[in-house]
Amino acid sequence: MNDATPGSLVTLAWSFGLMSLFAVGGANSAIPEIHRLAVDVNHWMSDKQFADVFAISQLSPGPNVLIVTLIGYQVAGILGAMVATLAMCGPTAVFAYFVSQLLARSGHAQWPGIVQAALVPLSIGLMSASGLVLLFASDTTWTAFLVTGSAAVLAFATRLNPLWLLVAGGLLGFAGVL
């Protein structure tokens, strides 16, 4: 861990750069692919560590995509964190810039609406897959399932600030309930 070898940096840049271009629906849709690369393919971390970095990324301010910053650090230190973040955000930022320029010129074309409608079910499917992958990585006991279920219901049915639910989960974990 934490050896910034050129090889590991190239792997980080290539893996996240390519993936970002397929991350339809944002960071939460990309979780299964990030998990596949980090845990199954490259063995950068264990299932448990993946659940940990997911928790940290949800607890910290900023876009949720910064889970890749944590993984990059785990693989190759501070340089790895920078490379992973830029690889995940840079290519799509450039792509977004050019598409928005193109759309500004093409006026009210019909195809953006069609593409958008076509992507909605796909991105929800990907997010559901994220939920499943994270469920297997983090929920190992019945009480853990209960906490996840309660958080889901509370977040859906109330207007409670999500941060409180995360804090409550953390306290339950600290108390050794899970």
Partner 1 sequence: MRPSSPQADAPIAELASASPPGLLTLFLAFAKMSLAGFGGVLVWARRAIVEQHGWMTPEEFNETFALCHFLPGPNIVNLSVVFGARFRGVPGAIAAFAGLLGPPVVIVTILAILYARFGDIEALRRTLAGVSCAAVGLLFAVIFRMMLPLLKKREPVSLALLIAVFVAVGVMRWPLPTVLLVSIPVSIGLTMLMRRRAAA
Residues in 27-66 that interact with partner 1 by CB under 8 A: 27-28, 30, 32-33, 36, 40, 48-49, 51-66
Judging by beta carbons within 10 Å of its beta carbon (0-12, 13-18, 19+), is residue 71 exposed, middle or buried? Answer: buried
Neighbours of 127 (CB within 10 A): 17
Single out the residue of 5, 14, 46, 122 in contact with partner 1 (rule: CB under 8 A).
122
- CA–CA gap between residue 60 and residue 73 (Å, rounded): 15
Binding to partner 1 in span 132-151, by CB under 8 A: 132-135, 137-139, 144, 147-151
DSSP conformation letters of 80-142: HHHHHHHHHHHHHHHHHHHHHHHHHHH-S-SHHHHHHHHHHHHHHHHHHHHHHHHHHHH--SH
Which pair of structure tokens corresponds to residue 69?
């910053």
Q: Please say which residue, 4 or 154, places its beta carbon nearer to partner 1.
A: 154
- Is 173 a binder of partner 1 (CB under 8 A)? yes
- Does 102 participate in binding partner 1 (rule CB under 8 A)? no
Given a contact cutoff of 8 angstroms between Cβ atoms, the answer to whether 30 and 19 are in contact is: yes
User: In the bound complex, what is the minimum distance in angstroms from residue 43's beta carbon to partner 1?
Assistant: 15
Size of the site for partner 1 (CB under 8 A): 112
Nearer to partner 1, 6 or 159 (CB): 159
Whether the CA torsion 176, 28, 66, 133 is positive or negative: it is positive
CB of 6 to partner 1, least distance (A): 20
Residue 9 contacts partner 1 per CB under 8 A: no
Give the nearest distance from C-beta 76 to partner 1 in angstroms: 11
> Is the CB of 10 or the CB of 155 nearer to partner 1?
155
7: contact with partner 1 by CB under 8 A? no
Q: How far is CA 21 from the centre of its chain?
A: 14
Taking CB under 8 A as the rule, does residue 129 contact partner 1?
yes
Nearer to partner 1, 10 or 24 (CB): 24
